[in-house]
Amino acid sequence: MYLNKLDVKIKDRPYDLDAPKNQKKTIHYKRLDKRILYKVYIYLSGRDVSFVRSVTYTLHKTFRNRTRIVNKTDSNPYCRLIIWVWGTFEIQAVVEDARGIQHEICHNLTFDKYFDATTFSSKEFEVLEVQ
User: By percentage, how much of the chain surpasses pLDDT 90?
Assistant: 74
For residue 57, pLDDT beyond 80: yes
> Which tops the pLDDT comparison, 45 or 32?
45
Res. 17: pLDDT tops 70: yes
- Asked if residues 41 and 15 have their Cβ atoms less than 8 Å apart, the reply is yes
Whether residue 76 has pLDDT greater than 80: yes
Q: State the Cα–Cα distance between residues 29 and 76, nearest whole angstrom.
A: 23
3-state SS assignment for residue 62: coil
Q: How many CB atoms lie within 10 A of CB 29?
A: 19
- Domain 9-129 is found in CATH 2.60.40: yes
Identify the bridge partners of residue 128 per DSSP, sorted by sequence position: 28
Residue ranges of the alpha helices (H) in 1-131? none
What does the pLDDT read at residue 4? 66
Average pLDDT over residues 44-59: 97
Supply the pLDDT for residue 18.
Answer: 81
Beta-carbon count within 10 A of 56 CB:
16
Q: How confident is the model at residue 2 (pLDDT cuts 50, 70, 90)?
A: very low
What mean pLDDT do residues 41-50 have? Answer: 97
